[in-house]
A and B are shown apart, each in its own frame.
Chain A
Amino acid sequence: MMKSKIETANNLAQVHFMNEPKLKHVRLLESIDESDPREPIKLLEVVEGTIERGIEPILFPADPARGIEYPVLIVEISPSEYENIQNNTSGLTVHGWSVGSELPA
């Protein structure tokens, strides 16, 4: 059975935490089209020591053969960029996104 977007997002967060010891937070990014299956799962990943380039999303195509039925978009930012985003969300709203719930390790 096809996993839901949120189940897939939770699984992705868990394996990303396993493969990146400097990953501190994974937050969902949400848009108004979330119910559309073509809308990617969007993860905001806060990684200590990452190069600071602002909001530079990177899109992974869906990979059903590996159990990932949805495209996945990742925005990797540093802890200090994360702090800035919490005070000023304009970098995200320009893409039509808001910060959603935190996904556990």
Chain B
Amino acid sequence: MPATDQDWAKAYATQALSDLDAREKLARSGAHKCHRLHFLQMAAEKVCKAYLTASNGHSNVRKSHAYVAKNLPLIARVVYSSVGNRMAAWEISQIKDLAHEIQLLAPACDDGDVRLDNSEYPWQDRVGNILVPSEYSFPNIDDSSQNRTIVKLIRLIRTASESYIR
């Protein structure tokens, strides 16, 4: 019997949790920031795909990487709302900014050739220098545990993924 879209949604959510676990292990072992961000981007993309697959179909969702900027803030709003939490306006704005930055970590997402920085492959800047992810600081994303918004966002990805595989 072929898999249903619901089966695919659960599979995406399961893999999102595994990606988050990998990110945590990398963080504890002192891996380069690009690797932590790579797994964060993958987890964020997969939780969005879990929520999109059930209503749009696996075949329509699987190929794109460009779901995070729009859908992660929406998932955040609904998940926080469901537990009766209220988010501050600044927090909503920060989550939107972070979701956009996380989406850009995928090499295929470059904001129309404007943002070539990504967590996987070297790229060339405007003056011809080759930049390497493992040597780049990713100044637009503070993924340290001191950044309350990213800590909350990571918790959200975990909660949202778990709620799909219950």
Contact = CB atoms under 8 A, between A and B. Distances in A.
Majority SS at the chain B contact face: helix
28 contacts: A15-B81, A15-B82, A15-B84, A16-B77, A18-B81, A19-B86, A20-B92, A56-B52, A56-B56, A56-B71, A57-B52, A57-B55, A58-B52, A58-B55, A58-B74, A58-B75, A59-B9, A59-B51, A59-B54, A60-B51, A60-B82, A61-B163, A61-B166, A63-B82, A66-B83, A72-B78, A73-B55, A76-B70
A44 interface: no
Given A18-B81, A20-B77, A61 B164 contact: yes
Interface string A53-70: 100111111010010100
Interface in A1-60: 12, 15-16, 18-21, 50-51, 53, 56-60
B70 A50 contact: yes
A74 B78 CA distance: 9
A18 B85 CA distance: 10
A76 B81 contact: no
Contact of A19 (B92, B163, B164): B92
Q: Give the one of B52, B70, B71, B78 with max A CB within 10 A.
A: B78
Contacts of A57: 52, 55-56
B89 interface: yes
Nearest to B78: A60
Contacts of A12: 81
A27 to B, nearest CB: 16
Contacts of B80: 19
A68 B82 CA distance: 8
B14 to A, nearest CB: 14
